[in-house]
Chains A and B, each alone.
Chain A
Amino acid sequence: MLYRETGQFKTTYRADQAIFPILQDKIGVLAILAFAVFVVPFAADNYLLETILVPVLVFSLAAIGLNILTGYCGQLSLGTGGFMACGAFFSYKLATAFPDLNLILVFLLAGLGTSVVGVLFGLPSLRIKGFYLAVATLAAQFFLIWVFNKFGWWTNDSPSGVISAPPREVLGFVVTSSEAHPISKYLFLVVLVAVLALVAKNLVRSRIGRSWMAIRDMDIAAEIIGIRPLVAKLSAFAVSSFYIGIAGGLWAFIYTGSVEALAFQIDRSFQVLFMVILGGLGSILGSFLGAIFIVLLPIALNVTMLAIDPTFSVALVSDMEFMLFGALIIFFLIVEPHGLARLWQIGKEKLRLWPFPY
């Protein structure tokens, strides 16, 4: 009932190929965007904005990046943390070397730099596949972290190896460092992430996106029908690293404000991989759902357990948090191996008829 498509006729190919062919979806997405821009900043308190929504948005971007590589192109990567570190340190160097450079430009350039690095580390994918490739991308992870940790040049010779974001403005509002108001940070992120997500969505629907999916589904067959694996795989690495790099820059500049290379350890890579798999491989929506789920779940578990019984020792709560986190991951995989995005699709199918039986 709610998702009734009857009466929505497509008269042009254009309309048929739209991102959201169903009117309800279009309205829904616009409503969510409007809600995120006009209601959330004023309804949410600083805790929610700063420690939940900001990381969710940053992680969504990283998850979109990894989803392009792993979900659309089928190349399993565990180097996400390393690429995020690239983005963070490139942004820092750019922002401190050219103080007048526009912040958005800083992030875009850092993303481009990261995609060059990504292509370099993507080269082995032409020969190595599957889990072998996944472990090989760990080489990128460890090597990049080592480089940023070791050479003082990246941190402007800060003795502790910690970089901290200088205050920078966008459209007259300070968005980085602790001077920035949580609302301006959040709004900046919402707009940036929405635009980049739109670009990603269109990219995966384009010719190049289809070539990625062909490679994912069967690379040899794809090669035979004329898709060049070199171009397809490396372009996936480039685009994916671009997104992940920007996410890294945002992490350092907008979320934590100061960061050391160790913040992008291998745990970070796994975290993003969780988001992609639990959210749904090969789905932009899934990247958002996964990010929300993974950021929120541990905190929610922790807070709920303390709310139920404040006398719990925090040690036990942390251990329980680990256990429940693990158990829930397994549970979700068993219930729906194709991720939350797939759950949403099933829900949509149901809503088509609901509440009427036929």
Chain B
Amino acid sequence: MKPLHILTWLVGALVTIFAIGGLHWGLAQIGWISFFDWSFYFEVSAAGLLQGVMYSLVALGFVLIFKASGIFNFAQGSLVLFAALTMVGLMELFERDFGIRLHWVLAFILTVGVMVLVAIAIERLVLRPLVNQPPIILFMATIGIFYFVDGFGQALWGSDVKVLDIGMPIASAVSPLGVRMNVYDLIAAGVGAALVAGLGVFFQYTRIGRALRAVADDHQAALSVGIPLKTIWTIVWSVAGVVALVAGIMWGGKAGVQFSLALIALKALPVLILGGFTSIPGAIVGGLIIGYGEQVAENFIGLEIGGAIQDWFAYVLALVFLLFRPQGLFGERIIERV
């Protein structure tokens, strides 16, 4: 994307946020909404956008794998859980058995190693025997992985809540321009942005990255110019594992590392279809739209109709976008021939 492009998007986004705010203000004036306040609105929007980045973190893993292999990887949620569990588990293990307080950076590196092993195992044991099967079968296989990894992680590390402390503030907040924002969320957003930038550079400028893009464009053509498909798949699953680890740290640091983390994959699905299965910027923009949309909806409309609407609202919002762009905002147009 060119800088001008990004600028247009930014301006567009700001205008939209103001427009939607104005709409709600108008609804409040005619009494359809019982409460509206501009500063509250901005706070909600900020919180929603930051939350959106957290969704994007999970969605990114899906996108990477779909891009490179056309597999809709349902196991991403359980990879998030497994990665976070492994990291905390390693830290606890070292402290208990060797009396060493493992620095979290070291634990992170060790866990990356474990995730690479997981990726290799998945490629060898699941993907390779299922090469050339229809997408729905591969999707099903990833659900099998989901169950296996869930059970394995818990059998290995136990089902207790584990506290992941990497020294991030939980409750402190800053208020630039009078909009209160959670420091933790800001840091998480920063990490998310850094991750996307890193992945962008990786895909754009490294040899492996170029090979990955080639595979994503056309498996057969990539094979024929000598790109080793299996290695690429292992790398992609490893990278997805690392993304899962980062997501797991961010989510686990907030709520404690435990089984429920595997369920956040469901929050990433509307982000995915909104942004398009194949686009990394799509995952980010989709995340922002979903995060913002569901927070605003829950806070201003939710109260009027009974609350807890954000679960389905995200999907309905994504559905509305889909009706206009069936491949998502940034998805590749599919040209169908008979």
* 8 Å CB interface, B135-149 against A: 135-137, 139-141, 143-149
A333 & B141 in contact (Cβ 8 Å cutoff) = yes
A224 & B338 in contact (Cβ 8 Å cutoff) = yes
A330 & B139 in contact (Cβ 8 Å cutoff) = no
User: Residue A40 at the B interface, CB < 8 A?
Assistant: no
By a CB distance below 8 angstroms, the chain B residues around A143 are 312, 315-316
User: Residue A346 at the B interface, CB < 8 A?
Assistant: no
User: Residue B4 at the A interface, CB < 8 A?
Assistant: no
CB contact under 8 A between A218 and B338, given known A127-B326, A136-B273: yes
* 8 Å CB interface, A105-133 against B: 124, 127-132
Q: How many angstroms between the C-alpha atoms of A146 and B252 in the bound complex?
A: 27
CB contact under 8 A between A326 and B149, given known A130-B135, A146-B309: yes
B143 & A329 in contact (Cβ 8 Å cutoff) = yes
Indicate with 1 or 0, residue by residue over B290-319, a CB within 8 angstroms of chain A CB atoms: 000000000000000111110110011011
Selected contact of B312 from candidates A135, A146, A318, A323, CB within 8 Å: A146
By a CB distance below 8 angstroms, the chain A residues around B148 are 322-323, 325-327, 330
B130 & A337 in contact (Cβ 8 Å cutoff) = yes
CB contact under 8 A between A333 and B273, given known A326-B145, A326-B147: no
A138 & B269 in contact (Cβ 8 Å cutoff) = yes
Q: How many angstroms between the C-alpha atoms of A324 and B151 in the bound complex?
A: 9
User: Residue A316 at the B interface, CB < 8 A?
Assistant: yes
Selected contact of A136 from candidates B125, B139, B308, B315, CB within 8 Å: B315
B328 & A337 in contact (Cβ 8 Å cutoff) = no
CB contact under 8 A between A270 and B315, given known A127-B326, A316-B155: no
By a CB distance below 8 angstroms, the chain B residues around A326 are 143-151
A132 & B273 in contact (Cβ 8 Å cutoff) = yes
How far is the CB of B73 from the nearest CB of chain A, in Å? 11
Q: Which residue of A lies closest to B322 (CB)?
A: A128
A132 & B326 in contact (Cβ 8 Å cutoff) = yes
CB contact under 8 A between A323 and B151, given known A131-B139, A132-B322, A218-B338: yes
Q: How many angstroms between the C-alpha atoms of A69 and B338 in the bound complex?
A: 22
Selected contact of A129 from candidates B129, B141, B326, CB within 8 Å: B326
User: Residue B177 at the A interface, CB < 8 A?
Assistant: no
Indicate with 1 or 0, residue by residue over A305-341, a CB within 8 angstroms of chain B CB atoms: 0000000000110111111111111100110010000
A322 & B322 in contact (Cβ 8 Å cutoff) = no
Q: Which residue of A lies closest to B274 (CB)?
A: A135
A327 & B316 in contact (Cβ 8 Å cutoff) = no
How far is the CB of B266 from the nearest CB of chain A, in Å? 7
Q: How many angstroms between the C-alpha atoms of A46 and B322 in the bound complex?
A: 49
Selected contact of B326 from candidates A128, A146, A281, CB within 8 Å: A128
By a CB distance below 8 angstroms, the chain B residues around A224 are 338
CB contact under 8 A between A127 and B140, given known A135-B270, A330-B126: no
Selected contact of B159 from candidates A315, A327, A333, CB within 8 Å: A315
How far is the CB of A132 from the nearest CB of chain B, in Å? 5
A323 & B338 in contact (Cβ 8 Å cutoff) = no
Q: Which residue of A lies closest to B316 (CB)?
A: A139
Q: How many angstroms between the C-alpha atoms of A316 and B338 in the bound complex?
A: 52
By a CB distance below 8 angstroms, the chain B residues around A320 are 151, 155
Q: How many angstroms between the C-alpha atoms of A131 and B322 in the bound complex?
A: 12
User: Residue A277 at the B interface, CB < 8 A?
Assistant: yes
How far is the CB of A269 from the nearest CB of chain B, in Å? 11
B137 & A337 in contact (Cβ 8 Å cutoff) = yes
How far is the CB of B227 from the nearest CB of chain A, in Å? 25
User: Residue B152 at the A interface, CB < 8 A?
Assistant: yes
How far is the CB of B133 from the nearest CB of chain A, in Å? 5
User: Residue A220 at the B interface, CB < 8 A?
Assistant: yes
How far is the CB of A313 from the nearest CB of chain B, in Å? 10
By a CB distance below 8 angstroms, the chain A residues around B315 are 135-136, 138-139, 142-143
By a CB distance below 8 angstroms, the chain B residues around A204 are none
How far is the CB of B52 from the nearest CB of chain A, in Å? 17
How far is the CB of B138 from the nearest CB of chain A, in Å? 9
CB contact under 8 A between A334 and B136, given known A150-B308, A323-B147, A329-B143: no
Selected contact of B143 from candidates A131, A270, A316, A327, CB within 8 Å: A270
By a CB distance below 8 angstroms, the chain A residues around B159 are 315, 319
Q: How many angstroms between the C-alpha atoms of A150 and B304 in the bound complex?
A: 12
How far is the CB of B326 from the nearest CB of chain A, in Å? 5
Q: How many angstroms between the C-alpha atoms of A206 and B319 in the bound complex?
A: 33
User: Residue B277 at the A interface, CB < 8 A?
Assistant: yes
By a CB distance below 8 angstroms, the chain A residues around B270 are 135, 138
Selected contact of B136 from candidates A277, A318, A328, CB within 8 Å: A277
User: Residue B327 at the A interface, CB < 8 A?
Assistant: yes
Q: Which residue of B lies closest to A277 (CB)?
A: B140
By a CB distance below 8 angstroms, the chain A residues around B149 are 326
B155 & A274 in contact (Cβ 8 Å cutoff) = no
Q: Which residue of B lies closest to A82 (CB)?
A: B312
Selected contact of A319 from candidates B137, B155, B318, CB within 8 Å: B155
Interface CB pairs A-B, < 8 A, 10: A131-B277, A132-B273, A132-B327, A138-B266, A142-B312, A220-B338, A319-B159, A323-B148, A326-B144, A333-B144
Q: Could you tell me which B residues sit within 8 Å of A by CB distance?
A: 72, 125-126, 129-130, 133-137, 139-141, 143-152, 154-155, 159, 266, 269-270, 272-273, 277, 305-309, 311-312, 315-316, 318-319, 322-323, 326-328, 336-338
Q: Given known contacts A128-B326, A138-B269, what 13 new A-B pairs fall within 8 Å (CB)?
A: A132-B328, A136-B322, A142-B311, A142-B312, A143-B315, A150-B305, A218-B338, A320-B155, A322-B148, A329-B140, A330-B141, A333-B137, A334-B129
Please give me the 3 A-B residue pairs with the lowest Cβ-Cβ distance, nearest first: A322-B151, A326-B148, A326-B147
